[in-house]
Amino acid sequence: MDEDYHWQCHEYGTQPIPNYNYCFKVILEGATGTIIATCLSPETDEWAGSCLELMNETEDINPARIPQKLRALKITTRIFQIHFGSGSKKSKPKFVVDTATNIVPLLLPAPLPTYQMSGLHLL
């Protein structure tokens, strides 16, 4: 072993800023069909909340309990960008969600009033 090499000792314990990750599956329904996709943090933090936020939301951390912020996503309309996951096959594709964007309704100007004139023809 090289004499200049020194082993680095690390102090284990609580990290000052925890870096937790999570994943969950969603059912995406659209006009063209339905798929099941996997959502992974930190990609989902923007629209579903970070893992730390979700853990701090509840006092009893129970893996079977879905946090309120995730339950609020049920029956919402968003635009999802997804890609095929690793190990995806033609017969059984795996989808991973990259981003989800809120759909902003387009406000169109009111239509102009239509007038009907009888007996007048413009050429």
Task: Give the start-end residues of each E strand in the chain.
Answer: 23-30, 33-40, 78-84, 95-102
Widest Cα–Cα separation across the chain: 105
Domain residue limits, the chain: 23-102
Q: Is the dihedral of CA 65, 70, 75, 80 positive or negative?
A: negative
pLDDT tens digits, one per residue of 64-103? 778 888 888 888 888 888 888 888 888 888 888 888 887 7
What does the pLDDT read at residue 10?
65
Instruction: Determine the Cα–Cα distance for residues 89 and 110; give it in Å rounded to an integer.
Output: 49
What does the pLDDT read at residue 108?
76
Q: Is the dihedral of CA 23, 69, 49, 74 positive or negative?
A: positive
